[in-house]
């Protein structure tokens, strides 16, 4: 068996490299590439993999690690922000999809038990695929990303009651009520344990482990937390994925979350690939080729139905139409937990034969289509917004709240109220600059308006919203949101409404820069390059490059659109000559001892530069900084001297600044 699984791993990795290389050339997402690898290697096509069960076990680990990393990047505070998505949109989406599946199945001649079961299967979406794609696109923190996550969390919870209902649907039920009560009690206990661990236990344990400085010990502790919580939830009858997400939330509340994430990411990507490969292996190619028309119609029907109902659930939360479309297309597939549910139904005799195989093929095709649907979602949303629909639907019901129409002219418009938006608003307030904020998180808007911020809810991709912000009279507009497609549309719309406005855009992605400039942005600030510029300026300061030269360098880099950092040949002023002369100098500080040889003497008396080859650049005395000390300045005990010289001269001069040791 060990040799067999190793052989299969060699086959899987070899085939994956080839398929992913072709997918990269065709710009097809890696997720689709892994599923295609599974289809090719699976038993129904080439039959290259025999240890299918072992691959499925590796796939389970991949799902656990994927949901764990999502939880680490999230937090309990973020979870509270999406509670409406979990408690309102989630139940509405699941209930509506179940009812639609029930109705359509009854029309197709299914029994009541089969119809309800099919509704269950249709209501679940793929947590693993959707969250991975949102994570890759940087959309997890967007309104549609948070809403999708909330609905997916509810689906992961509701799968357990659905599993308990399966025996009831087959007529082999026992006491379902008692089972629900036991499950509810277990859920309360687990949530209480998670909160307690996040607040008291895990931070203390990780603190003690990090004190050892042992990286292997830290990694093992993180993996143990992840697997232990997932195992605990599975033992209680809940899903492994939900437990892994909760484990991530526990770690996210500690100061070690970033280190944990960095350690886990490589393992996550490897094991997550097995999940997508295992999904592809389930596809029955022969059945697909025999029933292409039926499967195609059912697939299109599922995609349309789920998009409509998930989008409607987002509209119920008063989100704009654009967000609803993005949520709907993100959740349009049937999920991996439907496979687990279908196996339970198959064992109870509810689901069998061609119906089961039809379900598998349709499900896998919807999963394969998901990356394309998410990629096309922004264009689909823009297309729908051109329809003659009510403004309340397009802009979101939250717009019914009173908006301050007395916005002054010559003001600053801030789109997005995350960290950058808050800092910018604070700076504008300090500088006396009039500003207005557009934000799509209703909870943030409600809270900040109570605090007196000039903020209102709205989708800035809509012309009406920008008009409410008086964009035509604005001097500057700053866009600091995490949605690349929305950012492009806002820039284009704002430039058309106000050709004179100075538009500044923050982007995470280098490839967005050129298109944003073409759409009308005056300045585009890519996060990674700005960080690089700041780091390099600190490096130059350490090499004692003149301040004006550092500023000139930073200005040139920014003015040229970061060409030098993008690897494009570009002439910049060099400071190489200066560095050659300064590489042998060092700046250090000395605390002057009370009995040091130079204490109480003037700068002229000690002649540090002439006799010892070191120069006192400044003296910090109490809370005052005294630069360029005069020759008659007296050196006092406890002065902090900032001294420059060669490492050799500084080492030889150390005794001048210290009190002599008292011999007993």
Higher pLDDT pick, 541 / 264: 264
Whether the pLDDT of residue 197 is over 90: the answer is no
CATH of the domain at 628: 3.30.70.1450
Q: Angle between the 215-235 and 176-196 helix axes, to the nearest 10 degrees? A: 160
Q: Does residue 48 belong to any structural domain of this protein?
A: yes
Give the whole-angstrom CA distance, residue 238 versus residue 428.
49
Residues 259, 132, single domain; the answer is: yes
Whether the pLDDT of residue 5 is over 60: the answer is yes
**For residue 510, what are the contacts with CB-CB under 8 A and spacing of at least 6?**
526, 528, 529, 566
Dihedral (CA of 436, 439, 441, 442) sign? positive
The count of structural domains within the chain is 4
The alpha-helical segments, DSSP class H, found in 26-126 are 30-41, 52-73, 76-81, 83-84, 90-107, 112-123
Residues 62, 161, single domain; the answer is: yes
Q: Does residue 538 belong to any structural domain of this protein?
A: yes
Q: Does residue 478 belong to any structural domain of this protein?
A: yes
Residues 65, 23, single domain; the answer is: yes
SS3 503: strand
Contact 136, 143 (CB under 8 A): no
Higher pLDDT pick, 254 / 295: 295
Give the whole-angstrom CA distance, residue 77 versus residue 57.
33
Neighbours of 406 (CB within 10 A): 6
Return the percentage of the chain with pLDDT > 90, whole number.
21
**For residue 57, what are the contacts with CB-CB under 8 A and spacing of at least 6?**
none
Contact 37, 19 (CB under 8 A): yes
Residues 602, 537, single domain; the answer is: no
Residue with tokens 């990090």: 210
Residues 27, 97, single domain; the answer is: yes
Q: Does residue 544 belong to any structural domain of this protein?
A: yes
Give which of 31, 62, 52 is closest to 230, Cα–Cα: 62
Q: Looking at residue 436, what is its pLDDT?
A: 92
Residues 514, 589, single domain; the answer is: no
Give which of 82, 61, 35, 98 is closest to 370, Cα–Cα: 35
Q: Which two tokens stand for residue 489?
A: 């549309």
Q: Looking at residue 174, what is its pLDDT?
A: 55
Q: For residue range 564-603, list pLDDT tens digits in order.
A: 555 544 555 555 454 444 556 777 888 898 889 999 999 9
Residues 42, 115, single domain; the answer is: yes
Task: Among 562, 581, 600, identify where a domain stops.
Answer: 581
Q: Does residue 613 belong to any structural domain of this protein?
A: yes
SS3 663: coil
Q: Does residue 27 belong to any structural domain of this protein?
A: yes
DSSP code, position 462: S
Neighbours of 83 (CB within 10 A): 12
Residues 354, 497, single domain; the answer is: no
Whether the pLDDT of residue 397 is over 60: the answer is no
Q: Looking at residue 420, what is its pLDDT?
A: 84
Q: Looking at residue 493, what is its pLDDT?
A: 93
Q: For residue range 481-515, list pLDDT tens digits in order.
A: 888 888 998 999 999 999 999 999 988 777 788 88
Q: Looking at residue 166, what is its pLDDT?
A: 77
Taking residues 283-291, report their average pLDDT. Answer: 86
Q: Looking at residue 156, what is its pLDDT?
A: 80
Q: For residue range 9-20, list pLDDT tens digits in order.
A: 888 889 999 999
Q: Distances from the Cα of 621 to the Cαs of 595, 596, 638, in angstroms?
A: 17, 16, 8
Q: Looking at residue 11, what is its pLDDT?
A: 87
Bridge partners, 564 (sequence order)? none
Residues 536, 462, single domain; the answer is: no
Task: Among 482, 497, 521, identify where a domain stops.
Answer: 521
Higher pLDDT pick, 623 / 327: 327
**Burial of 275 (C-beta count, 10 Å sphere; 0-12/13-18/19+):** buried
Q: Looking at residue 579, what is its pLDDT?
A: 47
Q: Looking at residue 664, what is its pLDDT?
A: 42
Give the whole-angstrom CA distance, residue 72 versus residue 39.
32
Residues 117, 235, single domain; the answer is: yes
Range of the domain at 489: 395-521
Backbone angles phi, psi at 506, to 5 degrees: -100, 130
Torsion, CA 287, CA 289, CA 290, CA 292, rounded to 10 = 110
Give the whole-angstrom CA distance, residue 362 versus residue 334.
8
Taking residues 206-212, report their average pLDDT. Answer: 85
Give the whole-angstrom CA distance, residue 429 versus residue 426.
5
Q: What is the mean pLDDT of the chain?
A: 82
Q: Does residue 663 belong to any structural domain of this protein?
A: no
Dihedral (CA of 318, 321, 326, 329) sign? positive
Backbone angles phi, psi at 643, to 5 degrees: -120, 140
Vertex 653, ends 648 and 659: CA angle to 5°? Answer: 145
Q: Looking at residue 407, what is its pLDDT?
A: 63
Residues 569, 610, single domain; the answer is: no
Q: For residue range 244-254, list pLDDT tens digits in order.
A: 888 888 888 78
- pLDDT band with cut points at 50, 70 and 90 for residue 175: low
CATH of the domain at 405: 3.40.50.720
Bridge partners, 587 (sequence order)? 644
Q: Looking at residue 400, what is its pLDDT?
A: 42
Give which of 32, 99, 120, 125 is closest to 327, Cα–Cα: 125
Give the whole-angstrom CA distance, residue 23 versus residue 30.
7
Q: For residue range 499-558, list pLDDT tens digits in order.
A: 999 999 988 777 788 889 989 998 888 876 666 667 767 766 666 666 667 777 777 666
Give the whole-angstrom CA distance, residue 332 versus residue 310.
8
Task: Among 504, 521, 538, identify where a domain stops.
Answer: 521
Q: Which two tokens stand for residue 222?
A: 């993180």
Q: For residue range 359-382, list pLDDT tens digits in order.
A: 988 998 998 899 889 989 988 988
Residues 315, 411, single domain; the answer is: no
Q: Looking at residue 528, what is its pLDDT?
A: 63
H/E stretch holding 643: strand 640-645
- pLDDT band with cut points at 50, 70 and 90 for residue 660: confident
The gap from C-alpha 55 to its chain's centroid, in whole angstroms, comes to 28
Higher pLDDT pick, 391 / 518: 518
Q: Does residue 390 belong to any structural domain of this protein?
A: no
Whether the pLDDT of residue 265 is over 80: the answer is no
Q: Looking at residue 402, what is its pLDDT?
A: 43
């Amino acid at each position: 068996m060990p040799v067999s699984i190793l052989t299969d791993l060699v086959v899987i990795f070899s085939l994956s490299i080839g398929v992913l290389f072709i997918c990269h050339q065709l710009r097809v997402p890696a997720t689709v590439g892994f599923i295609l690898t599974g289809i090719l290697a699976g038993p129904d096509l080439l039959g290259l993999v025999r240890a299918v069960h072992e691959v499925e076990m590796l796939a389970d680990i991949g799902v656990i690690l994927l949901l764990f990393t999502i939880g680490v990047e999230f937090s309990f505070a973020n979870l509270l922000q999406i509670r409406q998505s979990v408690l309102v949109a989630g139940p509405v989406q699941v209930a509506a999809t179940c009812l639609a599946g029930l109705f359509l199945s009854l029309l197709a001649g299914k029994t009541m038990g089969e119809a309800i079961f099919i509704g269950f299967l249709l209501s679940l979406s793929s947590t693993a695929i959707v969250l991975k794609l949102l994570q890759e696109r940087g959309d997890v923190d967007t309104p549609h990303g948070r809403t999708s996550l909330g609905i997916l969390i509810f689906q992961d919870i509701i799968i357990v009651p659905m599993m308990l209902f399966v025996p009831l649907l087959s007529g082999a039920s026992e006491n379902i009520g008692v089972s629900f009560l036991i499950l509810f009690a277990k859920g309360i206990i687990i949530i209480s344990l998670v909160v307690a661990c996040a607040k008291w236990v895990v931070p203390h344990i990780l603190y003690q482990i990090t004190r050892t400085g042992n990286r292997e010990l830290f990694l093992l502790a993180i993996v143990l937390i992840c697997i232990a919580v997932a195992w605990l939830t599975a033992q209680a009858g809940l899903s492994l994925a939900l437990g892994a997400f909760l484990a991530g939330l526990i770690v996210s509340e500690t100061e070690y979350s970033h280190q944990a994430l960095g350690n886990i990411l490589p393992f996550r990507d490897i094991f997550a690939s097995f999940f997508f490969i295992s999904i592809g292996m389930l596809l029955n190619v022969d059945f697909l080729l025999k029933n292409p028309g039926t499967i195609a119609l059912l697939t299109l029907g599922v995609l349309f139905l789920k998009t409509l109902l998930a989008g409607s659930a987002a509209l119920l939360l008063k989100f704009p139409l654009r967000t609803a479309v993005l949520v709907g297309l993100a959740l349009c597939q049937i999920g991996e937990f439907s496979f687990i549910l279908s196996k339970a139904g198959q064992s109870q005799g509810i689901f069998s034969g061609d119906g089961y195989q039809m379900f598998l093929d349709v499900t896998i095709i919807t999963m394969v289509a998901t990356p394309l649907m998410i990629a096309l979602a922004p264009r689909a949303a823009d297309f729908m917004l051109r329809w003659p629909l009510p403004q309340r639907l397009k802009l979101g019901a939250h717009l019914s709240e009173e908006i301050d129409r007395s916005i002054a002219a010559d003001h600053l418009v801030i789109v997005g109220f995350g960290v950058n938006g808050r800092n910018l608003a604070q700076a504008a307030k300090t500088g006396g600059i009039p500003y207005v904020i557009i934000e799509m998180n209703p909870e943030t808007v409600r809270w900040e308006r109570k605090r007196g911020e000039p903020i209102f809810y709205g989708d800035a991709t809509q012309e009406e919203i920008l008009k409410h912000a008086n964009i035509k009279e604005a001097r500057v507009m700053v866009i600091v949101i995490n949605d690349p497609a929305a950012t492009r549309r806002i820039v284009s719309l704002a430039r058309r409404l106000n050709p004179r406005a100075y538009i500044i855009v923050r982007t995470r992605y280098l490839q967005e820069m050129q298109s944003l400039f073409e759409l009308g942005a005056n300045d585009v600030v890519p996060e990674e390059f700005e960080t690089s510029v700041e780091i390099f300026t600190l490096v130059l300061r350490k090499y004692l490059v003149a301040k004006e030269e550092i500023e000139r360098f930073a200005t040139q880099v920014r003015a040229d659109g970061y060409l030098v950092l993008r690897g494009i040949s570009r002439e910049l002023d060099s400071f190489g000559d200066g560095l050659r002369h300064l590489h042998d100098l060092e700046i250090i500080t000395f605390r002057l001892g009370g009995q040091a040889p130079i204490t109480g003497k003037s700068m002229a008396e000690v002649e540090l530069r002439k006799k010892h080859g070191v120069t006192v650049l400044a003296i910090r005395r109490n809370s005052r900084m005294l630069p360029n000390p005069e020759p008659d300045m007296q050196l006092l005990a406890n002065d902090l001297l900032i001294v420059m010289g060669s490492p050799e001269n500084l080492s030889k001069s150390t005794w001048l600044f210290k009190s002599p040791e008292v011999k007993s």
